Structure 1
Amino acid sequence: MKLHYIKEPLLEFGQGSHLCPRTGITNYDVYDTKLKIRRERVIVGAVGTSDTLSKLYTWLEKCSQFIPAKPDSRQPNLFVPFCGFKSDFGFKALLVIDEEITRVLNNSDINAIVQIKDWNERVYAAVELYYRQAKFLAQNRVIDVITCVIPTRLYDKIYKPEIIPVVETLENEEDGEDDVLEVNFRRALKAKAMSLGKPLQIIREASLESNVKGQQDDATKAWNFCTAIYYKTNRTVPWKLVTNINRPSVCFVGIGFYRSRDRKVLNTSLAQIFDELGNNVILRGTPVNIDKSDRIPHLKAAQAYHLLKRALAEYETALDTSPARLVLHKSSKYSDEELDGFESAAKEMRVRKVDFVTILDSDLRLLRGNEYPSYRGIHIELNEENHLLYTRGSVEHYRTYTGKYIPQPLEIRVVKSDESPGVICQEILGLTKMNWNNTQFDGKYPITLACARKVGQVMKYLGAADDEPQISYSFYM
């Protein structure tokens, strides 16, 4: 057994590099200022009641200005001030909203939905209410993103708390035995509105209020909200990983599985591709079978071949070249058929180097000095194939561990590779920072699998199999 420490990966911004997204944007501007294909005016359409829209106006005005950091914090690098959504530095853009690009919901309509006794009927009614107004904005107004503000009295009636693991193998999970359908407001609304071609930002009324106990401080909320809005508008990245120009171009693919809403239909596969700039493609695969012996879903060779070939073809279309190297992350073990299919697709698409990696949650725990959490970036090499990687843990830059429980490492299984395990683990650590929905950089899962899971939760609400999903991650986050 060998122990290694991977330094926090650097991120590249418009005029420099830094390990923290917030500090990087503040000091060096968003990365895509280099690309010259970005919007400098973010036009925010909105749907909500008169009261919640008023709060949204106030919040957006606040976000356009400097917001001080959380007072008296012992972690000044964790709780940093918000630079303001301005045109002269940082995001180098302006937030634009006015009455002409908003739709006001009647309080009577909200009250009528709240009074509906049946859960499913109540959620579907709320989805339809917001969808109708979002559709009007998408079809009749020039907007970049649609913000749906959910009043507290409605939110409490249509949201249920849920804890869903990002990496899921479906082991020990029973097939659905009844006709109960999963009904989730956020997922259903995003799926229904997908055809409108405008990403949604769903936000609670309570999140627009300042200094509420139990919520993030205003600066942190502004960082996360504005970064998500910016990414959804431009669909280019505010930051990217600093890469070695001497290494070949690499394409990252995440393969995940999800059940149908009634949990009876066989699992469906999906792929998420990220290149080094964070560009992405969402694809929906075909239904798959679960191996009854180990309760793990597997693709047939032909399914694996066609899914990966489609993904690589999209990459080639976007970048006018095939990647020199392919890294495939999967949340369950590979079958021989899957490997055959993936390798055949990679070979046909002229990919010279391939790495097949399984990423799981580990049951092992390590402590520093029998008392303190392990450092983020600790890489434990058990043998050539099996590794542990701490993506959550004590962060030197933050001078703290931001979690509540003993951090759990990821189990990394290098199934087949042309690259060293050290480089593979370093890339996984870097990919945990490519989440444009959260500017705190110590995420647990690489964006390949985190995105694949989130996409699956929305995609299950799409209609017929030929109902083509949007290919950008901005429609699912």
Structure 2
Amino acid sequence: MRLPEKQLRVAHFHEPQLEFAAGQITPHPKDGLFLYGPHDKARKVQPVRVGVVGTTDGIGFFKTWGAKLKHMIAVPPPGKGEKADRLHLANFPGLEETFGITFDPEDCSSLAIPLDAIDRASRIVNLNEAVSKVATLYVERVRKHLRNDERAVDVWILVLPEIVYDRCRPGAKRTGLPMVKGDFSRRQKKKADLPLLSSVLDLQAEEVFDDVPDFHRRIKAEFLKIAPTQLLRETTIAPEAFINKAGYPVRKTQDAATVAWNLATGLYYKTQPRPPWKLPGGRPGVCYLGLVYKSLPSDPEGHSCCAAQMFLNEGDGVVFRGANGPWKTGDYEYHLKPDAARNLLSMVLETYQDNYGAPPRELFIHGQTYFNDEEWAAFSAAAPTETNVVGVRIRTTGGETKLFRDGDYPVLRGTALILDEKTAYLWTNGYVPQLDTYIGPETPNPLHITVLRSKNAMPSVDDVLADIMGLTKINYNSCNFNDGLPVTVRFAKMVGDVLTMGSAKGEERQPFKFYV
């Protein structure tokens, strides 16, 4: 690609800082948590009420792992060819020392499911039915507990045997398995083809085929009405229990310290009122909105679901479900009708007003498509006069634009190639001096950023890029230094996947922590 020289400007955006306890700041989540603790850390250690569901072995694996979380877990020694100072890795100091929370693994609400019941359900000929029945084993076990046990649970840990991961995803082959006959035929898809057995069975069938056959999506959708969840594969927390014929673990996993950091971060985020860190010193009154579109499975009219993910400098998010409708206008283009656009943005603004007592000064709408005239007019009309609504398109690139450092080294993370006052390439992946490495398999590709529209004054493209850099650091489902995508875009597919499940109907406004 050839660029006119007068338009070319290269800039670098410094690594965003994160705020932790006592207002202390550092760019690395692990450093901040180790040195200072979560930014809203309580004075006393807070007990967390954990429920765990799985096979008898799976529950045992989690209890063993839970006991390990109470102590320091060291990074393993470097392997052959690895640096001794692998700065992207860090010892895990212990749950109480790092996060100020605790739980007793032996006192969890432990709900066992027979492995043979999971095995049989996952071998049902029709994949939709198989996934539905495996998910029901977990969901109904929790619902029974809620009916019969007074103990409240803050987060449910769902421990999955490997057969759930292998057999309960879209396109799962399940070759070589002795299959089991279910209530429906192998290729049952359309509601018009459902067997005329009884009204009850017809209703069950409609629910089964409304959902994509994916255990993860189904469980997240069902638990929107219950509590946040954390899904763990048995092979993640007990790799030593699953060895192949050569004597190695059947699955390569992250080192135990990294698994502990990620699990503990998710545990804190999903059980505490505030996230473990936030972006400090942001512009007051700024709100970021990520638009989500997802085609509805098996919808005869080809309709799509729309949603919005709202994030603030404080980091926490809320997901708003919009209307279903004919939003898809091209292969990768979605546009809301005026009423749907106005209603969706009104829900967001109402929630912001309730929390802060005034509307936002700036509302940045991040999307992966452009905004047409009637859609944008509706967004602008929904916002009060004092709120500047700004539309930003964020798209990944496939390698057509490359930038190198010192000849052939990856560029610094935060490098931007600014084409004009509205358009830029931004490298959110790249070499990180603090970690002394670039964590990636190939030369990093940039994001293509375009400031499309603005209700009032057009913001500086530099401000937009700096905001996007900050939003790559508030993924609380892990404890990584950064993501390659801002949180407004990073989880769009996951949120859309959950919201298009029939099981998710009726949940119009829900904390983001329920989706991850």
Normalization by structure 1: what TM-score?
Answer: 0.89
More displaced 10-residue stretch of structure 1: 332-341 or 257-266 = 257-266
| 2:195 paired with 1:189 | no
Partner deviation per Cα, 1:30-83 (whole Å, 9 max, x = no partner)? 11227x8x9811111011111111110010111111111232252532011112
The whole-number CA distance in structure 1 between the counterparts of 2:26 and 2:114 is 46
Structure 1 position 476 matched with structure 2 position 515? yes
Alignment check: 8 A CA contact 1:45 1:97 kept: no
Distance 1:456 1:32, change over 3 A: same
Q: Is the 8 A contact 1:48 1:103 kept in 2?
A: yes
Could you say if the C-alpha distance between residues 62 and 302 of structure 1 is closer, same or farther in structure 2, counting changes exceeding 3 Å? Answer: same
Deviations 1:291-314 (A, max 9, x none): 656751111223222211110101
* 2:474 counterpart of 1:450: no
> Identity across aligned pairs (percent)?
30
Q: In the TM superposition, what is the alpha-carbon distance from 1:218 to its structure 2 partner? A: 0.4
Name whichever of 334-343 and 107-116 sits farther off: 107-116
Runs (4+) off by over 4 Å: 178-181, 210-213, 290-295
> Hey, what does 1:14 align to over in structure 2?
21
SS in 2 for 1:334: coil
> Is 1:85 the equivalent of 2:91?
no
| Contact 1:288-1:298 within 8 A present in 2 as well | no
Residue 215 of structure 1 deviates from its aligned partner by: 0.8
2:134 counterpart of 1:105: no
Alignment partner for residue 361 of structure 1, among 396, 404, 412? Answer: 396
- Equivalence map 1:324-363=2 (5 Å): 324-347=361-384, 350-351=386-387, 353-363=388-398
The answer on whether the counterparts of 1:253 and 1:329 sit within 8 Å (CA) in structure 2 is: yes
Q: 2:45 & 2:335 partners in 1: Cα distance?
A: 42
Q: Calculate the aligned-residue CA RMSD, in Å.
A: 2.3
Query: 1: CA distance between counterparts of 2:490 and 2:45?
Result: 27
Runs of 5+ consecutive residues of structure 1 not aligned to the other structure: 163-177
Match of 1:28, as an amino acid? Answer: Y
**Within 2, Cα distance between the matches of 1:199 and 1:85?**
19
Write out per-residue CA displacement over residues 419-440 of structure 1, whole angstroms, 9 at most, x where no aligned residue.
2111110110110111001211
**What is the rounded CA distance, in whole Å, between the counterparts of 1:448 and 1:460 in structure 2?**
18
Alignment of 1:200 with 2:233, yes or no, is no
8 Å CA contact 2:290, 2:488 repeated in 1:
yes
Q: 1:39 to 1:424 in 2, by over 3 A?
A: farther
How does the TM-score come out when normalised to structure 2? Answer: 0.82
DSSP-derived class of the 1:321 partner:
coil
* Aligned match of 2:261: 223
Which stretch shows the higher mean deviation, 45-54 or 101-110? 101-110
Note if contact 2:222-2:504 (Cα within 8 Å) is conserved in structure 1.
no
8 Å CA contact retained: 2:224, 2:507: no
1:384 and 2:421 aligned? yes
Q: Distance in 1 between matches of 2:114 and 2:432?
A: 47
- Where 2:384 maps in the other structure, the secondary structure is helix
Secondary structure at 1:298 match in 2: coil
Preserved contact between residue 39 and residue 233 of structure 1 (Cα < 8 Å): no
* C-alpha displacement of 1:333: 0.8
Tell me what 2:160 maps to: 150
Deviation string 1:426-456 (CA, Å, 9 cap, x unpaired) is: 1101101110012112311111122333211
Select the residue among 304, 318, 329 that pairs with 2:341. 304
| Contact 1:357–1:412, Cα closer than 8 Å, also in 2 | yes
Q: Offset at 1:325?
A: 1.7
1:252-288 CA-to-partner distances (Å, cap 9, x unmatched) read 1111211112265322211111111123221111134
Structure 2 vs 1, CA of residues 93 and 304 (structure 1 numbering), >3 Å: closer, same or farther? Answer: same
- 8 Å Cα contact 1:254/1:272 also seen in 2: yes
Following the alignment from structure 2 to structure 1, what is the Cα–Cα distance between the partners of residues 273 and 36?
19
Aligned equivalent of 1:258: 294
Q: Which residue of the other structure, out of 396, 404, 425, is the alignment partner of 2:433?
A: 396
Q: How many angstroms apart in 1 are the aligned matches of 2:54 and 2:504?
A: 30
Structure 1 pair 268–155 and aligned structure 2 pair: CA distance change class (3 A)? closer
Quick one: structure 1 residues 138 and 10, their matched pair in 2 at CA, closer, same or farther if it must change by over 3 Å?
farther
Name the stretch that deviates more: 294-303 or 437-446: 294-303
Cα 1:95–1:282 shift into 2, 3 Å:
same
Q: Give me the whole-angstrom Cα distance separating, in 2, the residues matched to 1:127 and 1:258.
A: 22
In the TM superposition, what is the alpha-carbon distance from 1:462 to its structure 2 partner?
Answer: 3.4
Structure 2 residue runs without a partner (length 5+):
1-7, 173-188, 191-208, 241-248
Q: Is the 8 A contact 1:281 1:314 kept in 2?
A: no
Query: C-alpha distance in 1, partners of 2:374/2:433?
Result: 43
Kindly tell me the number of residue pairs found equivalent between the two proteins: 452
Distance 1:47 1:185 in 2: 14
The match for 1:421 among 452, 458, 461 is: 461
AA matched with 1:19: P
**Which digits, 9 at most, give the CA deviation of each residue in 1:68-126, with x for residues without a partner?**
1232252532011112101xx32011123335611111233133224433322221111
Residues 275 and 315 in structure 2, CA contact (< 8 A), matched pair in contact too? yes
SS of residue paired to 1:323: coil
CA distance in 2 between counterparts of 1:294 and 1:428 reads 26
For residues 250 and 405 of structure 1, the distance between their equivalents in structure 2, rounded to whole angstroms, comes to 35
Letter in 1 for 2:217: R
Summarize the Cα distance change of 1:206–1:469 in structure 2 as closer, same or farther, 3 Å threshold: farther
The letter of the residue matching 2:289 is: V
Alignment-derived partner of residue 49 in structure 1: 55
1:328·1:357 contact (CA, 8 Å) conserved in 2? yes
